[in-house]
Amino acid sequence: MNLKPDTQQMDTAQWRRIARLAEVGVMTSALMHELRQPVFAIKAELELALARGAEGDASVLARLAERVEHLDLLVRRYADLYREGAEHAQLVSVDFLAAEAVDMMGARARQVRATLRLESGDEPCVVKAYATGLRQVLINLIANALDAVSELDAREVVVRVYTQREGAVRIDVCDSGPGFSQAILASAFEPFVTSKGESSGTGLGLYITRQIVEELGGTIVATNPKAGGAMVCVSLPQGLPASLP
């Protein structure tokens, strides 16, 4: 029985919903990992406060408030990622969204013991985009890169954001993995193409990523750099105030 949906009968909004649901498992696992440390810290602070009685209450409460604020920020970030609803294109900072995506995927990087870092150019990178969609592009690419290095000795993922002379904003997501096979390179952005196996990959991440990038008037290319590893390059038109409706 073929349970794969008919790609000709589904619009972009439906594909996005499918992709978000496909990412829920990975992101939930990362969120649980990220929540564990502050929850344990809050528990320890409370036990310490109970042991001390009234002495030192102010400092303990201040530390607890800080940790609860951190938990609240984590939950709101993940909730925003999966929230449905209308969103208008606006000028957004790619530097900010990239930093946010790297921060959100930090827990996943720590799970696989990989180094994840962001490199930004000197000039601000601004595009006209849907912030939620562009954030999803970044998270999809980072997640794929982390998966590619998760079982290797060298585990490094680098996200580069910079402007190009021709007035475009470039996002490169590079990893130290084995690179794309020739078969994957030829069809990387088609639906249900994956190198992860059916048990751990849906084959929708790069397809949805391409859909979003093209909606924003951009291009996306997968390559194997001569230095090794894999790289996915996204190029988007630079946003200017005059480009807004």
pLDDT, mean of residues 145-157: 92
- 131 in a domain, yes or no? yes
Report DSSP letters for 13-26, one per residue: HHHHHHHHHHHHHH
- 136 in a domain, yes or no? yes
**How much is the pLDDT for 220?**
95
Say whether both 77 and 107 belong to one domain.
Answer: no
How many secondary structure helices (H) and strands (E) does the chain include?
7, 7
DSSP label at residue 10: -
Say whether both 35 and 120 belong to one domain.
Answer: no
Of 82, 98, 114, at which residue does a domain stop? 82
CA distances from 6 to 10, 20, 94, 153, 192 (A): 7, 18, 33, 40, 11
Average pLDDT, the chain: 76
Pairing of the two strands 126-129 and 156-163: unpaired
- 6 in a domain, yes or no? no
Predicted confidence (pLDDT) at residue 130 exceeds the cutoff of 90:
no
CATH number, position 234: 3.30.565.10
pLDDT tens digits, one per residue of 195-235? 665 545 556 678 888 888 998 899 999 999 998 999 999 99
User: What residues form DSSP beta bridges with 174?
Assistant: 158, 231
The helix (H) or strand (E) run that includes residue 236 is strand 230-237
Say whether both 117 and 199 belong to one domain.
Answer: yes
More confident residue, 145 or 243: 145
Confidence of residue 241 (pLDDT cuts 50, 70, 90): very low
- 115 in a domain, yes or no? yes
Say whether both 146 and 167 belong to one domain.
Answer: yes
Of 49, 82, 115, at which residue does a domain stop? 82
10 Å Cβ neighbour count for 184? 15
DSSP label at residue 229: S
Say whether both 64 and 103 belong to one domain.
Answer: no
Task: Compute the Cα dihedral for 215, 219, 223, 229 and give only its sign.
Answer: negative
- Domain with 76 in it: 12-82
Chain CA centroid to CA 119, Å: 15
- 146 in a domain, yes or no? yes
- 199 in a domain, yes or no? yes
Predicted confidence (pLDDT) at residue 125 exceeds the cutoff of 80:
yes
Half-sphere exposure of 193 (CA within 13 A, CB side): 17
Contact 175, 185 (CB under 8 A): no
- 192 in a domain, yes or no? yes
pLDDT, mean of residues 88-114: 89
**How much is the pLDDT for 141?**
93
Please tell me the pTM assigned to this model: 0.68
CATH number, position 46: 1.10.287
More confident residue, 236 or 4: 236
Of 31, 53, 82, at which residue does a domain stop? 82
Say whether both 134 and 181 belong to one domain.
Answer: yes
- 5 in a domain, yes or no? no
pLDDT tens digits, one per residue of 46-91? 777 766 665 556 666 666 666 676 666 666 666 665 555 555 778 9
Say whether both 211 and 239 belong to one domain.
Answer: yes
**Helices 131-149 and 205-215, packing angle to 10 deg:** 150
Which amino acid makes up residue 244?
Answer: L
Q: What is the count of structural domains for the chain?
A: 2
Say whether both 54 and 100 belong to one domain.
Answer: no
How long a stretch of residues is the chain? 245
Say whether both 143 and 38 belong to one domain.
Answer: no
Q: Cα(123)–Cα(238) distance, rounded to whole angstroms? A: 12
**How much is the pLDDT for 243?**
44
Say whether both 193 and 127 belong to one domain.
Answer: yes
Contact 33, 11 (CB under 8 A): no
Q: Cα(99)–Cα(125) distance, rounded to whole angstroms? A: 12
Confidence of residue 122 (pLDDT cuts 50, 70, 90): confident
Say whether both 55 and 97 belong to one domain.
Answer: no
Say whether both 68 and 115 belong to one domain.
Answer: no
Q: Cα(84)–Cα(2) distance, rounded to whole angstroms? A: 28
